[in-house]
Structure 1
Amino acid sequence: MDTIELKVDELNCAACSSAVEKALNSVDGVVSSSVAVATGRATISGNNLNGELLAKIATDAGYPSEVIDEGIDPSKLATEIETRQNKNASDWKRRAILGVSIWAPFEALHWSAASLGIEGSWIPWVMFLASTTSMILVGGGFFSSAIGAAKRFKTNMDTLITIGASSAYFFSLFIFISEKIFDHDLGYPMYFMEAAALLAIISIGHWLEATSTAKAGSAIRELLKMQPDTAEIIAEDGSTTKMATGEVGEGIRLLVRPGSRIPIDGVVVDGMSEVDESIVTGEPLPIAKNIGDTLIAGSMNTTGQLILETTVDGRHTTISRIAQLVTSAQSSKAGIQRIADKVSAIFVPIVLVIAAITVIAWVIAGDIETGFVSAVTILVISCPCALGLATPMAVMVAAGESSLRGILVKDAGSLELAGKIVTIIFDKTGTLTQGKPVVATIESENQFSEEDILKYAASVETPSEHPVATAIVKEASNRNITVPSVSNFEATAGIGVRGIVDGKNVTVIRDDAATCKIELDGKIIGRITVTDAIRKEAKSTIAELQASGIDVHMLSGDRKETALSVAKEVGIKPENVHAEASPSDKTDIISSLPRPSMMVGDGINDAAALAASDVGVAIASGTNVAMESASIIIPANRIEATAESIHIAKDALTTIKQNLVFAFMYNVAAIPLAAFGLLGENGPLIAAAAMGFSDITVIGNAIRLKHKLRKRRIKTQ
């Protein structure tokens, strides 16, 4: 299936994104599309897609679009999104300041004159000029958007604002002309300042929205700042020159000085140092790096000087790919938002009908003024601008904060499901365990020391590639034991190895429990037990998940005895252990467990199981961040990030639900009040303030989520 991304302009609300999605989904081959107002991006999935055609379709729908080049530097793309968001915030700030500057002083003049009993004939003229100026300079954007939608036989949020402000203005203009031009007093008040007030207050709300949206995307900027803008290239003669990181290719040697960040992923070819990889992997302690070790872009070189050879070009570093994943997640939509978008799409026409019925009812009742004011109030109070923010704000915050912990969420849908998880299944090897056998115990017989037992065992195991052999040889190396060479080496599958060491026959016999019996000239001299070490945070992570009410299971292809032993050590119930399971068995087991479920594996041999669960979590190495089978990726050395991702998702889901309530609460409560004229002649102003307060409430709740997650992150570091 193909995926194409578009940059879409002039998106103002949820109705706009729904209109673009509807247009894109009508194209042959398109399976799904998602349009994010916050980032101005459309993601289209399907077969045999034509990017230019899709961009034209979106443009013809009234939203200028262009294809995002697949080869574009992710950091450049993030910068473009940031620039767009900042420009949007700046534009709304200008309109808000202009709107308040026009409305506030003339509103004060109006009320001051009324309270002092001043009835100058010039006052209506001043109100008329001020309101007209506001309609042109502040309302122009609203009107343009509404007219554009009308031309396509559509409505959007700006339709309500346009009709509300225009109704107040033209109603007042009619009265003004009647009184000032034809000298005929109709007996109705003018609402010039109310029209200006609506535009000013709504612009303030949009300014706050745009500013908060820009700040919510700050996690990507923080990530990209970790990658240096330039890299120091080493020439063949040993001299160095600086080049823009994005222009550096693969296979180039770079010099990384102490105290500087790694510019591009690579392998150490000279030098040794300790490197802080916390920004990518979440590992708090620096890691020793020697020749042959991998280096991750964005990591901090602490003590020594390193020379690395790049393994990717400067545009496809780990940091860049992480930023791209986070951007995609922030641009995606949760299922709950798609429902909200559908509601929003039909909400505007319904409100227009309610407003029309209200006017007709009041006219029949003989009160035209109340009918007019009530209708304008309904149009303004019903504008669910906050609805378009409710989900995206929470998703952007959660995805951004997750990335700062080394947790990568691929899409909003996964984030939403992770917050509802009732069952979590862990793969054993490489997930709950380290996936690297180590020597656990050495038992001596016949007066032989542990060092002697290791020496003989390591000698005959050195030529072997068996994981148990690797563990024994490594243990001997760790103890600085000199290992003599072996001759007449012989390996027997399923049994063990043998050979001659220092003229003696040495045999290592392995059993199914990974316990090795070491014989010297036919006599047992000791036993070595090898085990796959449990990850140090596994037990506490499982306890934390169980305390949250999540049912924890373990899957393994190992023998039942081994699996039960690991389960007992980490705290998983015996009845929740599924051992000796083939890949197809794992899929069947996951399908039979209560849902939504989450599968946590290494992303390589658990691909089918990851895909079978509702949320697949892959444990990856620092440079393996693009596992197709997983929805969420956590650092290889931080199993506790599984619990963190669920907690973040739950907090985000709670915030989304709260935001949706806040977005509709004012509308649902105020529409009946407005329809029955209970808000009085200041109804339109009260409506505008309530709509703005709805925005502020949603924004404030998202900011609260950001501070909560940030505080928790700092506390656990």
Structure 2
Amino acid sequence: MKSRTYSVTGMSCAACAKAVEKALNKNENINASVNIATEKLNIEYDEKKYDFEKIKNIVQLAGYGLLETLNEEEKVKMHEEKVKSLKNRLILSIIFVIPLFYISMGHMMRLPLPDFINPVKYPLRYTLVQLFITLPIIYAGRDFFIHGFKNLIRKSPTMDSLIAIGSTAAILYSLYATYMTATIDPEYHMNLYYESAGVIITLILLGKFLEIRTKGQTSSAIKKLIGLQPKKAKIIENGAEKEVLIENIKVGNIIIVKPGEKIPVDGKVTSGSTSIDESMITGESIPVTKNIGDKVIGGSINKNGSIQFQATEIGKNTILSQIIKLVEEAQGSKAPISRMADIVAGYFVPIVIFIAVISGVAWYLSGAGLTAALTFFISVLVIACPCALGLATPTSIMVGTGKGAENGILIKSGEALETAHKIRTVVLDKTGTITKGKPVLTDIRTYGRYDKNEILKTAASVEKHSEHPLAEAIVNKAEEMNIEFKDYDKFRAMPGYGIRAEIEGKEIQIGNKKLMNSRKIDLSESESDYNLLSNEGKTPMFISIENELAGIIAVADVVKETSKEAVNKLHKLGLKVIMLTGDNEKTADYIAKKVGIDSVISEILPYQKAEEIKKLQSQGEFVAMVGDGINDSPALAQANVGIAIGSGTDIAIESADIVLIKNDLNDVAGAIALSKATITNIKENLFWAFFYNVIGIPFAAGIFYVLFGGPKLDPMIAAFAMSFSSVSVLLNALRLKLFKVAG
């Protein structure tokens, strides 16, 4: 089965999306899902049986269009054209609806009318003027009639069908009244509905215009990300600067970036130093210092230094392109909570038509008359709104995933966004997640006549050419303190013990207890220091000079500065926090205590991590796993929600549902809090969409009028209410933009 994403055109509401899904899914070996908010079709199909043209043909037979996936610029252009077209039709409609409304209703409010269309003196002129003014409005709203009746004939009625039926009923009755006025009874001019049809079309156009404008705001995160990439870059070719289009950059090109310019692609600094603002990509507000050898991210902004860097990733392989792809996929996906709204939307329009017919017939048979029956019939059709139901979930997901992306939290799907709010237990890997994942020198203890600088200088000089990670930590500390290294002779590595060398004729040994004991070196003076450092989860190494204990150097994978704060935030969300590590129990317990973790599972092998997650799930726990390494990927996949630290391996990131670009554990709490806020927003939208229809339809049908003697609902007010319901759902979704992820 092949998976693809296409753009669907011509949809106006959730019922349209359902019609496209229905048309595709009734074919064998096709699994289709349509998102009304993004207007995207996500489809899986057997590529031996289907291709784009066949799928396009199925969609066209259902009454809609299908386009190959558009790039962001094409989508923006298409959206702008849609907005412009709707705006022009809305303006045309408003120009004619104002005089239409004035002519039809003005005399009731004792407003003056020109004498030649006075309804008392010239009733036929009065009706004909309204007819001719209504025609341009019908033209402006022609799409409602074209799509509405087409879908009705195909037995897949949509929101457009409701508007088309309601408006047509009003127009046909008005034409009948015009005929009666001209031929039989001049008093029939009192039964005109031209203004209702005109105002309904205008208000629906206004609602659609506001809806599409607001929809544009919900996907602003992707537009911002797209806008980060410059169009051109300067490369060095044959020793000279040359400006090229970004798509012509090749891996290995040396690129020059000056202060204030954007980094065009991913790469590694080869010359110069600077600080770079990566906030739009990582969410990290503080500029990051970059020196030779450091990585730079395409789309970030060079602040204050000129640099040259070598392009390492271009096109779709850059971090920015991958982020855009992830956000687009997430915004186009559906959350499980949307299924209920989809099911309702699929049956909604036929049910509304049935209710409208029943209410109209019932009122007519009750003796209310044809005019009253028609009023109720049109009001029910116009007030019903599957748009609000259809937009309730996808718009919140679009804004929620976009908000996450702006803050360095990449949520891969609507399902992941929804599932995250159910988490009750967070399991954290230790190395690289709670800790920095890189050993650093933490302590130096000295004995006898030696001082700390001398011990560090001696140890670093011996360890300089060792490939052991602990040796690297000692050498890095010495370089950081600008310590000058000594020359050594007779270097010897002793696996399982340590190393031995000579410096200035003196024998130096660095290693564990076994090495010191084998050389019969007295360690009694250092025993309390050794035990204390070991209990703190550090790795102590003894150093002896001329067979005499000179000091202890302790190295540890230190806890990240943000880890304790992050665990506190998870506790505030009511979550249980567990550490899962292959490290020894003593080290694991010390680190867990330091950051406030509830419980520890230690000394497990990489393949056992997924089994431990399974055990927790079997106990009824809803688990999030947070990790960064290849050995974490099975556990990330097993967990209900897998969260990968962004600096981790590609495999870990691929296995995860959520990726934290900033490598900051605080964002775990941020992602869960964002999920909770998004789900709350979706539930609010669904509640108001259902509540609106539960109240609005009976009100339009006249039930409240029968029971309580309340007012009848004019079709024009119904049209306004319908338009407002969709816009209100979108505006509520946009409130998520105010959510503070770091809060």
Distance in 1, Cα, partners of 2:383 & 2:629: 49
Residue type of the alignment partner of 1:427: D
Larger mean Cα displacement after TM superposition, 108-117 or 339-348 = 108-117
Q: Which residue matches 2:87?
A: 93
Distance in 2, Cα, partners of 1:126 & 1:596: 67
The answer to whether structure 1 residue 701 and structure 2 residue 727 are counterparts is no
Distance in 2, Cα, partners of 1:112 & 1:29: 60
Q: What do residues 602-640 of structure 1 show as CA deviations (whole Å, max 9, x unaligned)? A: 153211111112221111139969932112111244222
> Aligned to 2:305, what secondary structure does the other structure show?
coil
Distance in 1, Cα, partners of 2:637 & 2:650: 18
Q: What do residues 459-509 of structure 1 show as CA deviations (whole Å, max 9, x unaligned)? A: 332333222121112112222222234444333433322333333332222
Q: Contact 2:644–2:652 at 8 Å: present in 1 too? A: no
Q: 1:565 aligns with which of 590, 604, 607?
A: 590
The answer to whether structure 1 residue 656 and structure 2 residue 682 are counterparts is yes
The answer to whether structure 1 residue 409 and structure 2 residue 435 are counterparts is no
Residue 299 of structure 1 and its aligned partner are, at CA, apart by 1.8
Distance of aligned partners of 1:565 and 1:7 in 2 relative to their CA distance in 1, 3 Å threshold: same
Q: What do residues 193-221 of structure 1 show as CA deviations (whole Å, max 9, x unaligned)? A: 11111111111111111000112222222
Q: Contact 1:508–1:518 at 8 Å: present in 2 too? A: yes
Q: 2:643 aligns with which of 617, 622, 647?
A: 617
Q: Which residue matches 1:266?
A: 267
Residue 595 of structure 1 and its aligned partner are, at CA, apart by 4.7
Q: Which residue matches 1:600?
A: 626
Distance in 1, Cα, partners of 2:99 & 2:186: 29
> Aligned to 1:616, what secondary structure does the other structure show?
strand
Residue type of the alignment partner of 2:368: D
Q: Which residue matches 1:107?
A: 101
Distance in 2, Cα, partners of 1:158 & 1:384: 11
Q: Which residue matches 2:34?
A: 35
Q: Which residue matches 2:71?
A: 77
Q: 1:638 aligns with which of 654, 657, 664?
A: 664
Q: What do residues 156-185 of structure 1 show as CA deviations (whole Å, max 9, x unaligned)? A: 111111111111111222222223234486
The answer to whether structure 1 residue 284 and structure 2 residue 285 are counterparts is yes
Residue type of the alignment partner of 1:310: A
Q: Which residue matches 1:153?
A: 155
Q: Contact 1:161–1:383 at 8 Å: present in 2 too? A: no
State the structure with more CA Rg. 2
Distance in 2, Cα, partners of 1:468 & 1:541: 27
Q: Which residue matches 2:20?
A: 20
Q: 2:129 aligns with which of 108, 126, 130?
A: 126
Distance of aligned partners of 1:332 and 1:288 in 2 relative to their CA distance in 1, 3 Å threshold: same
Residue type of the alignment partner of 1:589: E
Larger mean Cα displacement after TM superposition, 195-204 or 141-150 = 141-150
Map 1:239-638 to 2 at 5 A: 239-314=240-315, 316-369=317-370, 370-510=372-512, 513-573=538-598, 576-591=599-614, 592-593=616-617, 594-602=620-628, 604-621=630-647, 627-638=653-664
Distance in 2, Cα, partners of 1:83 & 1:535: 45
Q: 1:666 aligns with which of 688, 692, 695?
A: 692
RMSD: 2.5
Distance in 1, Cα, partners of 2:584 & 2:61: 61
Distance in 1, Cα, partners of 2:682 & 2:85: 27
Residue 47 of structure 1 and its aligned partner are, at CA, apart by 5.7
Q: What do residues 362-414 of structure 1 show as CA deviations (whole Å, max 9, x unaligned)? A: 23322343332212111111122222222222222222222221222222221
Distance in 1, Cα, partners of 2:45 & 2:492: 56
Distance in 2, Cα, partners of 1:201 & 1:195: 10
Distance in 1, Cα, partners of 2:106 & 2:621: 64
Distance in 2, Cα, partners of 1:187 & 1:481: 101
> Aligned to 1:33, what secondary structure does the other structure show?
strand
Runs (5+) with no aligned partner, structure 2: 111-117, 514-533
Distance in 2, Cα, partners of 1:626 & 1:197: 56
Distance in 2, Cα, partners of 1:666 & 1:273: 56
Larger mean Cα displacement after TM superposition, 33-42 or 675-684 = 675-684
Runs (5+) with no aligned partner, structure 1: 69-75
Q: Which residue matches 1:692?
A: 723
Distance in 1, Cα, partners of 2:40 & 2:153: 24
Distance in 1, Cα, partners of 2:177 & 2:640: 62
Distance in 1, Cα, partners of 2:19 & 2:462: 71
Q: Contact 1:378–1:671 at 8 Å: present in 2 too? A: yes
Distance in 2, Cα, partners of 1:579 & 1:46: 45
Q: Contact 2:702–2:712 at 8 Å: present in 1 too? A: no
Distance in 2, Cα, partners of 1:227 & 1:422: 39
The answer to whether structure 1 residue 3 and structure 2 residue 34 are counterparts is no
Distance in 2, Cα, partners of 1:109 & 1:127: 8
Distance in 2, Cα, partners of 1:603 & 1:332: 27
Distance in 2, Cα, partners of 1:25 & 1:606: 37
- The number of residues matched between the two structures is 700
Q: Which residue matches 1:71?
A: none
Identity value in percent: 37
Residue type of the alignment partner of 1:450: K
Distance in 2, Cα, partners of 1:585 & 1:317: 34
Residue 24 of structure 1 and its aligned partner are, at CA, apart by 3.3
Distance of aligned partners of 1:59 and 1:501 in 2 relative to their CA distance in 1, 3 Å threshold: farther
Distance in 2, Cα, partners of 1:611 & 1:26: 32
Residue 269 of structure 1 and its aligned partner are, at CA, apart by 2.0
Map 1:160-309 to 2 at 5 A: 160-183=162-185, 189-236=191-238, 238-309=239-310
Q: Contact 1:394–1:655 at 8 Å: present in 2 too? A: yes
